[in-house]
Amino acid sequence: MTIDEASERYNIPIKILREYESWGLCGTVKKIMGAWQYDDRDLERLSMIMTLHDIGFENDEVEAYMRLLLEGGSTEAERMRMLNKRRVSALDEIHFKQRQLDRLDYLRHEIRKATQTL
């Protein structure tokens, strides 16, 4: 499958595919007649890259995670540390947003209360 086919079929931006290629992580991706050819393992890795981007990893974090993943089982603790760090950050964001909602609800309550007494 070419880069254009992979991009279209799996809705992966070509920019991400080119970045993936530049990292040198695609050992099974072969250049045939001037075009990269992706196999099922490459597409699984690309799916993982998209997931990491979706959960908020920066490009350097994605690359580091993928390098660890390709190294194998001995890197599980480090990959778990990276995921836990992102999870804590996501929870912090959620808690911040909850505090904002609480404040918004308080202000809405105050307005309702004021209009009921008029």
**What is the mean pLDDT of the segment spanning 93-116?**
96
**Virtual torsion, Cα 66, 67, 70, 76, nearest 10 deg:** -80
102 in Cβ contact with 57 (< 8 Å)? no
CA distance 94 to 116: 33
Higher-pLDDT residue of 102 and 41 is 102
pLDDT of residue 98: 98
Q: Taking the CB of residue 83, how many other CB atoms lie within 10 A of it?
A: 14
CATH 3.40.190.10 fits 1-71, yes or no: no
Please check the confidence at residue 40 and state whether its pLDDT lies above 70. yes
pLDDT of residue 32: 65
**What is the mean pLDDT of the segment spanning 54-74?**
90
pLDDT of residue 93: 96
Please check the confidence at residue 79 and state whether its pLDDT lies above 80. yes
Dihedrals phi, psi of 99, to nearest 5 degrees: -65, -40
